[in-house]
Amino acid sequence: MSGWATPTSAGLNVPIAARVVSFTLPARAGAVPAAILFAPGNEASEAEADAIERSTGSGISAGRGTIRTRRVPIGSMGTLTGYQVAFVTTGLRGEQDNISAVAARSSVLTISSDPACVQAGRCVVGIATSPKVQITVSRAAARAANIRFGSAFLMLVKEI
């Protein structure tokens, strides 16, 4: 499949991603279902999906909620109905337009370690960890998916 990119970082920093989720409005409580979107057969995508699963375990706290992940092969993404968050793994650049459209229709918060996804307005949040932690929010993607964040959070991140 074309459009696969090589990893741009060490992968998604899941504890920071969980903190990002805790700043969404209205606040999420209880179980927060999250899809780990990955490309089967793409080594980088599968490795990042594995790392996200290891980091979340049986659930990771996100404010008053608990993120519970499930792997979703990109070919089986469907409508993302039932998910509140989607972790977009490395290697899905060729699928980002479709991911963005589906996430917008279902009001799903998309989070990626790929800065290009956010810069293109296809992912709501990008988390870079090298050389320092940088959280970037795409206003256009957030608006399209009807995702809102608290003003205190927005003062701490880079909005584009």
Residues present in the chain in total: 160
Q: What is the pLDDT of residues 41-54, one digit of tens each?
A: 999 999 999 999 99
Tell me the C-alpha to C-alpha distance, in Å, between residue 2 and each of 13, 86, 98, 146.
Answer: 26, 22, 14, 30
Cis before 15? omega within 30: no
Superfamily per CATH, domain 14-159? Response regulator (3.40.50.2300)
Q: How far apart are CA 109 and CA 116, in angstroms?
A: 16
Domain locations along the chain: 14-159
Provide the mean pLDDT of the chain: 91
Q: What is the pLDDT of residues 10-46, one digit of tens each?
A: 578 999 999 999 999 999 999 999 999 999 999 999 9
